[in-house]
Amino acid sequence: MIAQPRTSAPLPRKKSLARRLALPVAAGGVSGFIATMGFLEFAEFSTVEGLGVSREIAGLVGVIYILTGLVVALGAARPGVGAKLLNVEDADELREGKRMLVPSSVAMVLLGGALILLALAGPVGPLAPVLSVGGAVLMLAIATWLGTIAQRLTDEMQRDLNRDATASAFSLLLLIGGGWAMLAHTGFVTGPAPLDWLTMFSVVLLLATFWQAGRRGLMTRGPN
């Protein structure tokens, strides 16, 4: 009897980059638009003259942090759904990283909440200053503790990414914040408000993380 050659099953065709990113981008855009409009409407409703540009930007950055943290938390809780929204190879990657993703996502939500509390602080905002500062300090302390836990659970590649992102964030802060302070010192522009610095810290950390993830090809893997 002549053995028949074994034929291997055809490999599944990988989706194009545009198709892989369509759902995450659409979901992020819709949820971000709704959350942004909700915050701005609340800001206008809560104060007679509005919060002002610095506070509104800080609040919007806080909204971005909260949404990002919630999406990551959803991915950790429901890997099948998260694999369609996050740039991971498959649901198993989320299951394996759940112990690290949960504290990281909660820390992001807390950081965003702290920014929003400070943006809504009186006397301009509707919240009492003591409540805003106390809540923000508590949230930042818990977020720092959770970040330390998550750091211990990361692998070597993630630790390298975190280290490079921190270095890039410092360089961006020196360029953006330092340049703004220099121009303000010489009288060309108005200097950054204290809340602007907190917002810049948060923004440059996000930008640096996305930049370093993109350099490693982690932003374009997409769901299979």
- In 3-state terms the chain splits into helix, strand, coil percentages (rounded to 5) of 75, 0, 25
Burial class (CB in 10 A: 0-12, 13-18, 19+), 6: exposed
pLDDT band at 4 (very low <50, low <70, confident <90, very high): very low
Q: For residue 25, give Cα distances in angstroms to 30, 84, 85, 222.
A: 9, 11, 8, 11
208-221 confidence digits (pLDDT tens): 988 887 777 766 65
H or E element in which residue 199 lies: helix 194-215
110-132 confidence digits (pLDDT tens): 999 999 999 888 787 788 889 99
% of the chain surpassing 90 pLDDT: 29
The pTM (predicted TM-score) of the whole model is 0.77
pLDDT value at 36 more than 70: no
Which residue(s) pair with 127 in the sheet? 121
> Which tokens belong to 182?
């220099």
| The predicted structure's pLDDT at residue 1 | 43
- Tell me, rounded to whole angstroms, the distance of Cα 188 from its chain centroid: 32
